[in-house]
Amino acid sequence: MPAMGRDLHAFYPASHAFVDVKRITGADAIQAAWTKLAAGDVPPRDGLVLSF
């Protein structure tokens, strides 16, 4: 495994201590998330994962 993949593999379990993954799907939900993010209404610990 390349170094970057190895490092990411090690990072993911540790990241749960400071990042809450928020999965958001669909154009309308993505737009709403972006609006909240731009307004400063998304906590820093929320890691937004957006997908159509």
What's the domain range around 39? 3-51
Give the model's pLDDT for residue 8.
87
Task: Tell me, yes or no, if the pTM score tops 0.85.
Answer: no
Query: DSSP string spanning 12-31?
Result: HHHHTTT-EEEEEESHHHHH
How far apart (Å, rounded) are the C-alpha atoms in residues 32 and 12?
27
Q: What is the pLDDT of residues 12-51, one digit of tens each?
A: 888 889 999 999 999 999 999 999 999 999 999 999 999 9
| 29 in Cβ contact with 51 (< 8 Å) | no
Number of domains in the chain: 1
